[in-house]
Amino acid sequence: MPAAFPYRIDRTGRTATPLDEATHVRELIEQVLFTAAGERVNRPNFGTGVHQLVFAPGGDQMASAAQHLIRGALQQWLAEWIEVQSVDVEVHDAAIEVTIAYVLRRSNEQRVEVFRSHERTS
């Protein structure tokens, strides 16, 4: 199992790993959402940089653009793990809230997760 995100040490002093596949996939989605394009040296197109949308002009056009940006990035980077069903983006003051409904491909489990930009710890 890969390392947990954000990277941390577990109580045994080793690299922490996700508890299960659903947790691992949630962490992968979080990485895609909150990594800005150009932030990864060997993957300059990885991520969405959604936290930067706080500074974008609001309105329906911004929300629609953000939904398409996020859906495209998730389909590009996580297609083997999930099937995206819907993406909803809301801006609240200085925070972005993204709600993603998806199906885990291996288990066919439907999930809905909410991500907030102020939760990012790395």
Distance CA 29, CA 70 (A): 10
How far is CA 108 from its chain centroid?
19
This prediction's pTM: 0.76
pLDDT, position 40: 84
- Place 29 in a pLDDT band, splitting at 50, 70 and 90: very high
Let me know: does 68 contact 48? Beta carbons within 8 Å: no
How far is CA 120 from its chain centroid?
10
Q: Quick check: 57 pLDDT over 70?
A: no
Phi, psi of 25 (to 5 degrees): -65, -40
**Average pLDDT taken over every residue of the chain:** 82
Question: Residue type at 57?
Answer: P
Q: Quick check: 121 pLDDT over 70?
A: no
Residue where the block lists tokens 């996700």 = 18
Q: Quick check: 117 pLDDT over 90?
A: no
CATH number for the segment(s) 21-119: 3.10.450.40
H helix or E strand, kind and range, residue 116: strand 110-116
Residue where the block lists tokens 């109580």 = 11
Domain locations along the chain: 21-119
Neighbouring CB atoms inside 10 A of 89's CB total 20
For the ranges 12-16, 17-21, 24-28, 80-84, which has the lowest average pLDDT?
17-21
